Structure 1
């Protein structure tokens, strides 16, 4: 995918998620997400932060977090989540069309972030949220090749991942196959959420990973794994 295509996916996902958040009940906003310790509201807050974050803000927040990047991601989301729901929705919607990346973030990170966090809220709420296939394929490849914070190749050593709905595979060993959306959840550390949609002899050796930490896609979660 080229940059224009990736930005279009990000815009579409942000607009769609803003609509989803706007439609949720109080109980749904307070529902746990796939990110450990985060509610749906916390995920909404996290998604609205990146498009407006500059280097100066990051440096200040790092000092507040005593140098812990994971702690910073968690703290900023929780603090932002205290704001009215209408403001969180409006800020996410206003981010559509923005071409700003958070400091240190790649465009591929931003696309993967919004795709995965969409599932972090949709799956626990029982909502069907299909991923655009080519964007999911590109994000899975990016996450597989990336080291920190997901370390997918290390975590999934001895397995061959193969998509059943697009042309994508990686790794070597026992096969784990399934839709590319499920494989993206797997490589980003959301094993328990991915496993019901996966098949093949490699599934037997997979164990549900710990829930993704706060922030897991574009930011890094507490413990250095998957927010």
Structure 2
């Protein structure tokens, strides 16, 4: 994918619109991202939008090259006292074109997946946007760092709504967004999938 920031920005804007209608109690709901509530995820997205390549490595080094510790520090720095304060910071970051190391497609994956980490536990349906997820799934299927390569090995994924197939092996079928979520390690999206490869995928996600 070329550096199409317009797609990233539209996803950030769509999430901001959903966040604006949440109650303070909903900001405290556990997200689909392990150990983080909705407020934490928004703080992480805000921090990530402002992270440069150099800043990423400096932060990681200060955290003893522990990704979880670096993320926790980022969340603590960007999480305001109130949800309204954090939402203001998030909105201010939405049009940023700064990014940490890694292919550009990871910027789109991050906002789409974390957006669903927030929406799904709250029962919010993702708005219809002009977005194809094939390239994102192809990337994750070969990515060791995120664990996507291991999760998807020996599986053939077919997006029933977008009409593409990637990989080979036992078949898993379902909406492209749900395939992207399971490829990113989110077991909650398994309920939207079917096929003979589903049991293997479920075993890997719940291991």
TM-score past 0.5 threshold: yes
Q: Is the 8 A contact 2:7 2:131 kept in 1?
A: no
Question: How does the TM-score come out when normalised to structure 1?
Answer: 0.81
RMSD across aligned positions (CA): 2.2
Q: Which residue of 1 aligns with 2:146?
A: 149
Contact 1:133 1:166 in 2 (8 A): no
Distance 2:73 2:206 in 1: 20
Which of 44-53 and 113-122 deviates more?
44-53
Q: How many Å separate the matches in 1 of 2:193 and 2:67?
A: 33
Pick aligned residue for 1:109 from 106, 111, 119 = 106
Question: Shift in Å at residue 59 of structure 1?
Answer: 4.7
Between 1 and 2, higher relative CO (CA 8 Å, sep ≥ 6) is seen in 1
Which of 189, 194, 210 is equivalent to 2:189?
Answer: 194
* Equivalent pairs, count: 206
5+ residue gaps, structure 2, are none
Gaps of 5+ in 1: 212-227
Q: Does the CA-based 8 Å contact 1:52-1:100 persist in structure 2?
A: yes
Closer/same/farther in 2, CA of residues 52 and 38 from structure 1, 3 Å limit: same
Structure-2 separation of matches of 1:203 and 1:110? 27
- Secondary structure in structure 2 of the residue aligned to 1:161: strand
Runs of 4 or more consecutive aligned structure 1 residues displaced over 4 Å after TM superposition = none
| Aligned positions of 1:15-164 closer than 5 A | 15-55=13-53, 57-102=55-100, 104-130=101-127, 132=129, 134-150=131-147, 152-164=148-160
